[in-house]
Structures are given as C-alpha cells and as structure tokens.
C-alpha cells in the first residue's frame, strides 16, 4: 500500500483481556518498528524487526507483550491480560533498510483503552 496501515484505529478492551494490534507496512520495507505513546509522552520503543534477523525485543515492557511478523510483511503486536497502564497509542513504522537516508514512515496508530 501507499502508507503504513494499522488496525484497528481504536480499541477499547476490558482489563484482563488479550488484544491484537495489526500493522501492514509499506510494500518492500524490510524493517518494522513498534512504539508506544502514552498521553503527553514521547514514543517508547517496543520491538524492531529487520528482514530475517532475530527481532530486537529489548523495549517490550513485560512478558505480556509479544509481536510477530509473518512473511516479512504484516506484524501483529499482542498484549495478554491487559492492564490499565497499557492504555496508550501504539504506533508502527517501517523503513526500507538501515541506511541513513532511509526514512521511517509511521502509521496512524491504534489507540488502546483498557477499562
């Protein structure tokens, strides 16, 4: 597609439920990133996929968070047993490669509200 697509755009879930957030990157972009942005805060790095390499999971806040990327394209971020502090906007970005002139294109985000 023309841009990074994220779905759903909004998600309200009950505490303790599992949620799945989807990111469809720009076609051909080998790198994909997930970030979390709490209200009024900066972007917190969660996880990064680059090609067929093992993902960099160093930003995942707990083992309730996991992500996968199937076929080098679509990625799903899963949050198990959601907590109220998980409420945030989850942003996905993709880039062509690791080169310095490779821009990052962000999706519009999924706003997650845990009630």
Partner 1 sequence: AQKITQTQPGMFVQEKEAVTLDCTYDTSDPSYGLFWYKQPSSGEMIFLIYQGSYDQQNATEGRYSLNFQKARKSANLVISASQLGDSAMYFCAMREYNQGGKLIFGQGTELSVKP
Nearest CA to 111 among 85, 83, 90, 81? 90
Q: What burial class does residue 53 get, using C-beta atoms within 10 Å of its C-beta: 0-12 exposed, 13-18 middle, 19+ buried?
A: exposed
User: Looking at 52, 71, 84, 101, which residue binds partner 1 (CB under 8 A)?
Assistant: 101
User: Looking at 5, 11, 22, 45, which residue binds partner 1 (CB under 8 A)?
Assistant: 45
Provide the pairing of β-strand 88-95 with 65-69. Answer: unpaired
What is the x/- site pattern for partner 1, positions 22-41, by CB under 8 A?
A: ---------x-x-x-----x
Binding residues vs partner 1 (CB under 8 A) = 31, 33, 35, 41-45, 48, 50, 56, 59, 89, 91, 93, 95, 97-98, 100-104, 106, 108-109
């Amino acid at each position: 597609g023309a841009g990074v697509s994220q779905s759903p755009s909004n998600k309200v879930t009950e505490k303790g439920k599992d949620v799945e957030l989807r990111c469809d990157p720009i076609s051909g972009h080998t790198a994909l990133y997930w970030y979390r942005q709490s209200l009024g805060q900066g972007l917190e790095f969660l996880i990064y996929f680059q090609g067929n390499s093992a993902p960099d999971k160093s930003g995942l806040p707990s083992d309730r968070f996991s992500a996968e990327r199937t076929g080098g394209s679509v990625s799903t971020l899963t949050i198990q047993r959601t907590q109220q502090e998980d409420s945030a906007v989850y942003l996905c970005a993709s880039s062509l490669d690791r080169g310095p002139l490779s821009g990052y294109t962000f999706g519009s985000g999924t706003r997650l509200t845990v009630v």
